Amino acid sequence: RWQQLLINSIVGYDTILTNSLVNSPGQGYLYNFQTKELYDLSYGHEPPTGPTRFGDYFVTKCGVLLMSLFVFFTTTMSVSFTLRETQSRMLRFTVQLQHHARHQLPTFQLIFVHVIESLVFVPIMIGILFFLFEFYDDQLLAFLVLTLVWLCELFTMISVRTSISMQFFPRFFLLYFLVFHIYFFSYTYGFSYLAFSATAAFMQHLILYFWNRFEVPALQRFIRSRAHIHQQTGVQITSSTIYTSTLHIARVNVRDPGTMNDDVGAAREADPLLAQAEPTRNQQEGGQQLNENAEAAATDPLQDVRDHHHGQDYAEPPRNENEQVT
């Protein structure tokens, strides 16, 4: 029963029949009445002879490798660009919507403009899908490959934060992607769905391994460091998923600046994420402008977010006991 389920769901009887006829002696053609495709059964029975055999084999494999690399970089860059643009527009829309709701402003025009801007990415995704249709004979397989790339890009953009994950996860993803496509382009009548299932399983294992082995421990260390700083110095630090790996310091009541610097330095050494998220100083001109920005940020922390690309807030180092830093 499990063999029948495997054949019906993943392998397919047409693939088994085609490979059986290809590997049998003799030549001829096979016509599929459903897909209207004609298969040449002489595939694999006419190997090149003489000294040109190795040269043709080498040229064929190089062509397969170049085609696999082209599909990989084109697909991943298109998906990554679409994801980052939609995320940036969504976050900007969220901040604007909160501002309109807080000040009781009309939101119909804001929502309408956001929907129209989001519809621009629909033709882009359709174009990517039709681009993949040119490389895959099976449209379902092309859609599954695009879905797998989407999932891996989402994991990379949202969950990958540690340096070791940023360094090695894309490399393993490239390796699995190339192995599947080299097999797919090398064997015309191969077991494509079975190979894709194995590739998807390996990529799922890769995602779970990097998440449990590197990301979760780093996140736990970051939470412990934040709680330690809050208890020792009264610093309230909130991590925002809106702007990646950025710390927003809401309010600081400092009584001993030396103690605060020592605690922050110790926590920074214990947690690499905290060191990566250290806010840089913004050069402000004029004491009056600095006071106005501090009062505005204390009233509404969201209004201090101006950099939509990096999402960084800038903190002034503590100078006296009663100074509030935002």
Give me the pLDDT at residue 305, please: 40
Q: Do 17 and 148 share a domain, yes or no?
A: no
Tell whether pTM > 0.75.
no
Give me the pLDDT at residue 69, please: 92
Residue type, 248: H
Q: Do 82 and 23 share a domain, yes or no?
A: no
Give me the pLDDT at residue 276, please: 47
Q: Do 20 and 144 share a domain, yes or no?
A: no
How many whole angstroms separate alpha carbon 78 and alpha carbon 82? 6
In a domain, 254, yes or no: no
What would you report as the CA-atom Rg of the chain, rounded to the nearest whole angstrom?
28
Task: Specify the 3-state DSSP secondary structure of 300.
Answer: coil
Q: Do 32 and 78 share a domain, yes or no?
A: no
Q: Do 81 and 136 share a domain, yes or no?
A: yes
Nearest Cα to 221, choosing from 269, 263, 175, 255?
269
The burial class, CB within 10 Å (0-12 / 13-18 / 19+), for 80 is middle
In which domain, by residue range, is 27 found? 1-43
In a domain, 285, yes or no: no
Give me the pLDDT at residue 271, please: 47
Total domains in the fold of the chain = 2
Strands 37-40 and 235-240: unpaired
Give me the pLDDT at residue 171, please: 93
Q: Do 73 and 1 share a domain, yes or no?
A: no
Q: Do 37 and 142 share a domain, yes or no?
A: no
Reported in sequence order, the residue ranges of 66-214 that DSSP labels E, i.e. its strands, are: none
Q: Which residues pair with 248 in a beta bridge?
A: 238
In a domain, 151, yes or no: yes
Query: 10 Å Cβ neighbour count for 86?
Result: 15
Query: At a CB cut-off of 8 Å and minimum separation 6, what does 300 contact?
Result: 102
Give me the pLDDT at residue 52, please: 61
Task: Specify the 3-state DSSP secondary structure of 322.
Answer: coil
Q: Which residues of the chain have pLDDT under 50?
A: 235-260, 263-264, 266-288, 290-291, 294, 296-326
Q: Are 216 and 284 in contact (CB under 8 A)?
A: no
In a domain, 175, yes or no: yes
Give me the pLDDT at residue 210, please: 95
Q: Which residue's entry shows tokens 């100074």?
A: 323
Q: 196: part of which helix (H) or strand (E)?
A: helix 192-210
Give me the pLDDT at residue 205, please: 95
Give me the pLDDT at residue 214, please: 93
How many whole angstroms separate alpha carbon 49 and alpha carbon 160? 50
Give me the pLDDT at residue 260, please: 45
